[in-house]
Amino acid sequence: MEAPTDGAGAGFGTRRDWALPALAGPRAVFRFLGLRLLRAVAIAFAVVTIIFFLFSLVPGDQAAYLAGPGSTQAEIDNLRQSLGLNDPLLVQYARHVTGLLRGDFGTSEVFRSDPLPFILDRIPATLALTGAAIGLTILIGIPAGLVSAMFHTRLPDLTISFSVVALLAVPNFWLGLLLLSLFSVQLGWLPSFGFSGPASLILPSLALAARLVALVARMTRGVTIDELGKDYVRTARSKGLGRTAILMRHVLRNVMIPTLTVIGLQTGYLLGGSVVIERLFAWPGIGDMMINAIGQRDYAVAQAVTILFVVAFLVINLVVELLYLLINPRMRTA
């Protein structure tokens, strides 16, 4: 039996561990979720390890850089000692891990303190951006796919399919630049940078969502075309139900599952893309913070944000798995 691939297998292959064991009851559901949670914790630990050793490869003397130009050798040595950079790597690693368990993300050299409050401060902006992008994906992607399927091989379908191919090739930051140029600089309708209310969310979330919208529209189209050819649709037609009613009452439910899969698999894109989009729109989220930190060689912050992104990835995938159970009763009781 092949080991299960899950959300972590982002974008590749199918999710094989959808199905619970046969005749699963609530207890089996809890057991299943408990196991998933344990696995997520183990993966998070492994990622923390990888990220720590990756950042330990940074060339140059970190202490000399942080002490700044014009500092004496004694000052540099002092700083190196106080940062614990003289300890063996494994000791530093152990300190890093035990620190994380206590919620200590190390010391940011730019903030001269624990970076956690500054990071927490910036999380809402990132959540708003990614949340809005997911909202747009569902609001635009699913209807577009449904329309495409209903007008299969006719003009609306061709238009939407063409847009999908185009959107998948366009870099999100260029789309953002074009939107910025048109709607803020030329027309002056929307704010061009920063997080200041719902209007400021429109452009960045559109730029971020574009790729996901295209993927969801394509997936929805394919699934809907398949579903429309099934027996239950014919049955519904023969009892006199209209096309729209069938689509809304029966097909949509089945379409939700692959949509959810796409969103779960593309979480990685969403988080990575948010870094670029936040940079473009000077969005005060953690992605922008990460790039700033890298520019200032503040690796404690860069590392903390990276870990946060991975944890977010794991959490979203757990939520997606939970939603599968909610949406599809077949997965609850096999």
Partner 1 sequence: MKAQPIIARAAFSARWLRQNLYLTSGAAILLVFLAAAVFGEQIAPYGANKQNLLSALEGPSSAHWLGTDPLGRDLFSRVVIGTRHTLSVAVMAVSLSCCLGVLLGLIAGFVRGPLATAVDAIVDVALTIPNMILAISIAAVMGAGLTGLIMAISISFTPPIARIVRGRVMEIREEDFIAAARTIGVRPWRILLRHVLPNAATVIVIEASLQAGQAVLTATALGFLGLGVQPPTPEWGTLLGYGREYLHVAPFMVVAPGLAISLLVLGFNLLGDGLRDWLDPRIGV
User: Residue 26 or 229: which CB sits closer to partner 1?
Assistant: 229
Q: Residue 303 is which amino acid? A: Q
User: Residue 164 or 260: which CB sits closer to partner 1?
Assistant: 164
Q: Which one among 132, 150, 302, 318 touches partner 1, defined by CB under 8 A?
A: 302
Using only the alpha carbons of the chain, give its radius of gyration: 24
- CA 256-276-61 angle, to 5 degrees, is 130
15 touches partner 1 by CB under 8 A: no
User: Residue 148 or 306: which CB sits closer to partner 1?
Assistant: 306
Which among 68, 52, 61, 48 has a CA at the least distance from the CA of 110? 68
291 touches partner 1 by CB under 8 A: yes
Q: Is 210 exposed, middle or buried (0-12, 13-18, 19+ CB in 10 A)?
A: buried
267 touches partner 1 by CB under 8 A: yes
Residues 6+ apart with CB under 8 A from 83: 62, 63, 66, 107
Integer Cα distance of 40 and 190 in angstroms: 40
Restricted to residues 128-147, the positions that interact with partner 1 (CB under 8 A) are none
1 touches partner 1 by CB under 8 A: no
Which SS3 state, helix, strand or coil, does residue 108 take?
A: strand
In order of 26, 168, 205, 276, the CA distances from 273 in angstroms are 37, 13, 10, 5
12 touches partner 1 by CB under 8 A: yes
Integer Cα distance of 305 and 286 in angstroms: 7
- Of 28-36, 66-74, 152-160, 168-176: span binding partner 1 (CB under 8 A): 168-176
Restricted to residues 41-70, the positions that interact with partner 1 (CB under 8 A) are 43, 46-47, 50-51, 54-55, 57-59
313 touches partner 1 by CB under 8 A: yes
Q: Residue 174 is which amino acid? A: W
262 touches partner 1 by CB under 8 A: no
Sites of contact with partner 1 (CB under 8 A): 2-3, 5, 8-13, 43, 46-47, 50-51, 54-55, 57-59, 165-166, 168-174, 177-178, 180-181, 185-186, 222, 267-269, 271-273, 275-276, 279-280, 290-291, 294-295, 299, 302, 306, 309-310, 313-314
